[in-house]
Structure 1
Amino acid sequence: MTVRWGSLSAECVREWAQLTNLLATVDGAEEFYEAEDLAEELIEPGVDAVRDTVAVWDDGALIGFGQLGVKRGPPSGNLSALLVGGVHPDHRGRGMGVRVMDLLEARAMQLGAERGPGVPVHLRVPGGIEDASVRRLLEHRGYAIERYYRKLERPIPGAPVAEPSVAVTPYSAELSEQVRLAHNDAFSTHWGSTPRDPLRWQSYVGSRSFRPDAGFVSLAADGRVLAYTLVCEWVPGEAWVDLVGTRQEARGRGLARACLSASLRSMAAQGYTAAGLSVDSENAQGAGALYSSVGFELQRVVASYGKVVPALG
């Protein structure tokens, strides 16, 4: 048995997808990815796949991985680092998860020192469902639950969805920049959210998973986007309502509901079989009630762990 440590690369995305999807089932997170979608994550803006990822091999089989992404954002203007990874269930208990975390945390602090000298780093890690084995590891390392996220689903077509109560417009590439600006305004008060710059936004709307033909927007008289729903697809036949938002000035007018209703009707017309989404359990804008009103039901609750580490030096 020979264990080799390295980085994720385009050459191993098939094995990476197989491991990711196995863990999605075993650990109950049910977040599945195609190899082509994972390949795009290695070339996202700001990602150095060689230094920002970890791959663990055992006799040619990928048995563990880790990913890191760093950006500036809440809380308190800290640098925010998202650490994601996993170890094959047959190889747990050998200290691999600990070493993956060691490597990712060290890299996060290095990037923090480069991108925000003197600024604390907020480390965030998905904590999975209740009793997930990763929670013990995280708590031992000083992480604590910061947030719970509710994963909701509904069948498509499912219960009939009323026509939008106000006029909406299909998403188009010409509206992309206006949607970005609306999104940054809408999410400026959301915990843990950071503004999307044009480069990151173009990476998002140009991704393989993005489904422009299921997105809708509500426009102001001056052409600005006031509300929007954007959709992705990671599992064939299943739509993921990825972003829903309303500019702060336009809240309380049913605009997001209209966009979401139009998206659900479009999904049905396109032959999707299900739709899912994730919502912060402490969402202050009442998003949970909105989603329940159009037929989404709770499937599972996952936790987000975090800790703030002082800057190096």
Structure 2
Amino acid sequence: MTRTPLTLEDAPALTALLNRIDAADDLGEPAEIPSIRELLTMPGLDLERDTLAVRDEEALIGFTVVDVHTSLDRDERVRCQLMGGVDPSRRRQGLGASLFAWAEERAAQLAAERHSAEAEAVFRAAGGRDPDLDAGEDAPLTGGAGVRPLLESRGYRRARSWLVMLRELPGAALPEIEREQVRVSAPADEDSEATRLAHLAAFADHWGSAPVSAERWNRWWFSHTARRELASIALDADGTVLAYVIASEDKPGVLHIALVGTRPEARGRGLARAVLARTLAAAAETGYASAELEVDAESLTGATRLYDALGFARDAVYATFEKPVGRLV
């Protein structure tokens, strides 16, 4: 076996590896080559230094990607996201542990390069989907949750739960929304920065959130999976974006509501409901069979109540695991 950085030419092999992992772990998140190319060219990611691939001769059998945020999060911490996976046929051979060890070392190094030594860092990793309530104690972990024993052995603990919520389309009639001199429409290309600024304001008080750069935001905004005609923004008379929905299509026929936010000063006016209602109605007219979203189970803004009221039903729970690593000195 050899260990080398990922390259852009690895996009097809990495897509195939992720789809083998998806099938084995029952993730329901198939990968496509264009999306993996976007990942590998993500602004701020240095493939040579921030990725590692394990190969058996020419076959890609494992990888990790380290993504250290350039801004501190709400709690003044450096957020270090560790991503990766091992081919299902090559698990329980120590590859996952060795990839994690490399990723943690690189994350600590990169965090120190980007931030003051006085800053505190936190390693974060996906913990997969919770088992079904009716699954027996001896049932195998699926939905990517098989990584949890490895995470826990390395000092990670569950930090947050995320609800996946689904709504069939067209579904029940959507409520009429009084817009109070606010215009709700699909955003245009030139609305990207105004919507990013609204997002920064909307998520400033959310757990784990850190300001996203214009460069990264534009990567999402113009992603090949983005469905901007189905996104929605609420504009006041001055053209300020007060609330927004960002939408994408990651699985055929399913509209993914990637982001929903309202500026703090505009909360309580039904604007999130208005932009969501427009997006859902437009998706139904376009022919989408369903819409899905993920929401923080402990959201301070009562988002779960809003989604319940709009006909979303809770489908699954996913976990984020963290390991605080203290100051960078």
Q: For this structure pair, what is the TM-score category when the shorter chain's length is used for normalisation?
A: over 0.9
Percent same amino acid at aligned positions?
A: 40
State which of 6, 27, 30 in structure 1 corresponds to 2:28: 30
What CA distance in whole angstroms lies between the structure 1 residues aligned with 2:155 and 2:58?
Answer: 33
What CA distance in whole angstroms lies between the structure 2 residues aligned with 1:73 and 1:153?
Answer: 32
Unpaired runs of at least 5, structure 1:
none
State which of 170, 189, 195 in structure 2 corresponds to 1:157: 170
What CA distance in whole angstroms lies between the structure 2 residues aligned with 1:213 and 1:45?
Answer: 25
Other-structure match for 1:303? 319
Q: What is the CA-CA distance between 1:60 and the residue it aligns to?
A: 2.5
**1:120 partnered with 2:133:** no
Q: What is the CA-CA distance between 1:164 and the residue it aligns to?
A: 4.2
Q: Which amino acid aligns with 1:86?
A: G
Other-structure match for 2:98? 99
| Secondary structure of 2:218's aligned partner | helix
Other-structure match for 1:110? 109
CA contact (8 A) 2:125 2:320 kept: yes
**How many pairs does the alignment contain?**
311
Other-structure match for 1:216? 232
Other-structure match for 1:4? 2
Sort the Cα spacing of 1:182 and 1:267 in 2 relative to 1 into closer, same or farther, 3 A.
same
Q: What is the CA-CA distance between 1:54 and the residue it aligns to?
A: 2.0
CA contact (8 A) 1:153 1:296 kept: yes
What CA distance in whole angstroms lies between the structure 2 residues aligned with 1:28 and 1:147?
Answer: 21
The alignment's C-alpha RMSD in Å is 1.6
CA contact (8 A) 2:20 2:88 kept: no
| Secondary structure of 2:208's aligned partner | coil
Unpaired runs of at least 5, structure 2:
131-140
Bigger Cα displacement from structure 2, 80-89 vs 12-21: 12-21
What CA distance in whole angstroms lies between the structure 1 residues aligned with 2:23 and 2:306?
Answer: 29
Sort the Cα spacing of 1:32 and 1:261 in 2 relative to 1 into closer, same or farther, 3 A.
same
Other-structure match for 1:175? 191
Q: Which amino acid aligns with 1:80?
A: R
CA contact (8 A) 1:228 1:244 kept: yes
| Secondary structure of 1:200's aligned partner | helix
Bigger Cα displacement from structure 2, 65-74 vs 223-232: 65-74
Q: What is the CA-CA distance between 1:183 and the residue it aligns to?
A: 0.7
What CA distance in whole angstroms lies between the structure 2 residues aligned with 1:75 and 1:214?
Answer: 30
What CA distance in whole angstroms lies between the structure 1 residues aligned with 2:303 and 2:264?
Answer: 14
| Secondary structure of 2:275's aligned partner | helix
Q: What is the CA-CA distance between 1:199 and the residue it aligns to?
A: 1.8
What are the Cα deviations for residues 133-171 of structure 1, in whole angstroms up to 9, with x where unaligned? 211001110111100111112222233334544241221
What are the Cα deviations for residues 77-126 of structure 1, in whole angstroms up to 9, with x where unaligned? 12111011111221111000001101111110110111113122111000
Other-structure match for 1:143? 156
What CA distance in whole angstroms lies between the structure 1 residues aligned with 2:321 and 2:80?
Answer: 12
What CA distance in whole angstroms lies between the structure 1 residues aligned with 2:22 and 2:169?
Answer: 23
- The two structures have a TM-score, normalised by structure 1, of 0.94
Q: Which amino acid aligns with 2:78?
A: L
What CA distance in whole angstroms lies between the structure 1 residues aligned with 2:168 and 2:57?
Answer: 42
- The two structures have a TM-score, normalised by structure 2, of 0.90
Other-structure match for 2:41? 43
Other-structure match for 2:261? 245
Q: Which amino acid aligns with 1:65?
A: F
Sort the Cα spacing of 1:297 and 1:26 in 2 relative to 1 into closer, same or farther, 3 A.
farther
Q: What is the CA-CA distance between 1:9 and the residue it aligns to?
A: 2.1
What CA distance in whole angstroms lies between the structure 2 residues aligned with 1:111 and 1:255?
Answer: 39
Q: Which amino acid aligns with 2:309?
A: S
Q: What is the CA-CA distance between 1:211 and the residue it aligns to?
A: 1.4
Q: Which amino acid aligns with 1:11?
A: E
What CA distance in whole angstroms lies between the structure 1 residues aligned with 2:177 and 2:102?
Answer: 49
